[in-house]
Structure 1
């Protein structure tokens, strides 16, 4: 297991869509383990392969109940109810803001062995699924903010990065 270097905002790779995983092998297992270790070291509660420069649709979440890997996750249903939740990114540490998300979601994904599953979630887990799937689609979290809020976050991050 290795802690990999994180891709930092504004790296253009964070705006690229990730490719579907088609091979479920030892290299994928190592990537998932490295993502978990990198996420814990960051620290964070979610990470995608693009956060470490690998443009594959792999997500690892750890919400305190044990890390779980999601391969090729896709949103298949979202609730009409919305919630606000504070978000940030391992690729833009030290800054966060409130983002509006669906209160509940259902995703379809494959596990590390390639078996297909569906999972319905609410609250923080639903927010994390939406946040990380956005990242896999090339949408960095600050794109969900108004232009003014986004500019403030970027300035704050630049100031923190100079320290």
Structure 2
């Protein structure tokens, strides 16, 4: 997923602050996911659970990511240009399906009060990564539309200025 993110940053990065911010938020989410899943080079023992605070922080970041995606990016794509509304109408049901699964994870773990509530975390993180992967693929399609719109709008503005 980090390789896919790097490709997205290379392809669409720098086109707009909105795109850059969305990709940066995705990067931060992935870093937290990998730390939580124990896939980073941490100092914790191999079979230990992450701390409750780390799980809660990840859930908070996941909420922020979902909110930014829905209320800033998708909303802007939907209302900025005709093609954006068509694309979001087509993709939104799939995006909402992933959102529901992400919210289920958040509901389960954001209120975890003791380590016993984390016993299924590894299993749930394994499922979550599949949901995130699907979500990122859908979002990349939206990013391409937003990128194309921004480029076309900039070219139109430059043509008018000349």
Task: Calculate the TM-score normalised by the size of structure 2.
Answer: 0.30
Q: Relative contact order (C-alpha < 8 Å, sep 6+): which is higher?
A: 2
Q: In terms of Rg, which structure is larger?
A: 2
Greater strand fraction, Structure 1 or Structure 2? 1
